[in-house]
């Protein structure tokens, strides 16, 4: 099973590992597109006012421009530790044992805007870029990433559990021929949620890392989720509805 997570806008600063190594990231076929995105962000950061305008940053967020300028030289940390916020706080990767963290590294990809999907344990620097941004020197991010990411997913076919937001799913649709399911977190009445959506997806991923089940299709995931305390049901098409935790 492969789990796809969205990133978070908020990130831990700093890091203790060597600078970004594009050749070491998961899905190596994306290297050239990653390099192009990094180069565009670094170039944009040379003009702070323009970068703030393009990235829609307020006065208190301008430090993020310096992070982008240092993408190739800044220290790194595992992606699952870099991201903070509701989903990643609920996942709590820093509190998992070594076996569970290795499982995350083998089974979880976090879909970033500048690097595409990276393994949970791939080491990345802090950055500022969202799925909807338009960066000078790059095509729209959907056009930059979508076909290449879909092809990369197709190279390693296995059941894909897609926990991404719609914006990030659009940056790399799962191939039509790959068994997959898109998870929606809903109320008992079927209403989609936001905050509890993120919390439930983080808690769900943590439970998967702790129990490490063998899941090869959507029905098997629904059975596991029900038993693990995440009531789930098949939804429309390839969707699975999970009740908020």
pLDDT per residue as tens digits for the range 113-124? 999 999 999 999
- Number of neighbouring beta carbons within 10 Å of residue 56: 11
Q: Mean pLDDT, to the nearest integer, of 24-42?
A: 98
**Structure tokens of 129?**
């870029």
| Distance in angstroms (rounded) separating the CA atoms of residues 31 and 224 | 35
Q: What is the arithmetic mean of pLDDT over 202-220?
A: 97
Phi and psi angles of residue 77, each rounded to the nearest 5 degrees, phi first: -150, 165
Domain count for the chain, please give it: 1
On whether residue 225 sits in a domain, the answer given is yes
Kindly indicate the confidence band of residue 89, based on its pLDDT and cuts at 50, 70 and 90. very high
Note the residue count of the chain: 245
- Residue 65: inside a domain, yes or no? no
The tally of CA atoms less than 13 A away on the side-chain side of residue 138 is 28
pLDDT at 193: 64
- Determine the Cα–Cα distance for residues 71 and 138; give it in Å rounded to an integer: 16
Give the separation between CA 146 and CA 207, rounded to whole angstroms: 29
Q: What pLDDT, on a 0 to 100 scale, did the predictor assign at position 43? A: 97
55: in domain: no
pLDDT of residue 60: 86
Q: What is the per-residue pLDDT for 190? A: 66
Query: Looking at the DSSP assignment, which residues form a beta bridge with residue 180?
Result: 160
User: Is pLDDT of 213 > 90?
Assistant: yes
Residue 198 lies in a domain: yes
pLDDT confidence of residue 4: 98
**What pLDDT, on the 0 to 100 scale, is given for residue 156?**
73
Closest C-alpha to 107, from 146, 166, 163, 37: 163
**Does 31 reside within a domain?**
no
Give the pLDDT score at 55: 94
* DSSP, res 235: -
**What per-residue confidence (pLDDT) applies to 155?**
82
**pLDDT of 243 above 70:** yes
The model carries a pTM of 0.95
Residue 220 lies in a domain: yes
**What is the C-alpha separation between 244 and 94, in angstroms, rounded?**
23
The answer to the question of residue 36 being in a domain is no
Q: For residues 206 and 211, what is the distance between their CA atoms, to the nearest angstrom?
A: 9
């Amino acid at each position: 099973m492969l789990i796809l997570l969205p990133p978070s806008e908020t990130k831990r600063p700093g890091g203790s590992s060597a600078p970004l190594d594009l050749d070491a990231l998961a899905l190596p076929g994306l290297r050239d597109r990653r390099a192009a995105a990094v180069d565009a962000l670094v170039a944009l950061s040379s003009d702070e006012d323009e970068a703030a305008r393009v990235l829609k940053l307020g006065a208190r967020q301008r430090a993020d421009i310096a992070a982008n300028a240092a993408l190739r030289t800044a220290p790194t940390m595992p992606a699952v530790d870099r991201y903070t916020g509701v989903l990643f706080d609920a996942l709590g990767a820093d509190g998992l044992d070594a076996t569970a963290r290795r499982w995350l590294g083998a089974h979880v990809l976090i879909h970033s805007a500048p690097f595409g999907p990276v393994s949970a344990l791939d080491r990345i620097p802090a950055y500022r870029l969202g799925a909807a941004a338009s960066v000078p020197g790059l095509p729209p991010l959907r056009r930059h990433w979508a076909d290449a990411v879909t092809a990369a997913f197709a190279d390693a076919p296995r059941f894909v559990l897609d926990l991404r937001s719609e914006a990030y799913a659009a940056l790399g649709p799962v191939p039509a021929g790959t068994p997959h399911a898109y998870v929606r977190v809903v109320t008992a009445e079927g209403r989609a949620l936001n905050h509890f959506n993120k919390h439930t997806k983080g808690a769900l991923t943590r439970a998967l890392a702790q129990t490490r089940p063998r899941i090869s299709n959507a029905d098997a995931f629904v059975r596991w989720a029900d038993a693990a305390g995440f009531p789930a049901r098949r939804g429309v098409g390839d969707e699975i509805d999970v009740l908020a935790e």
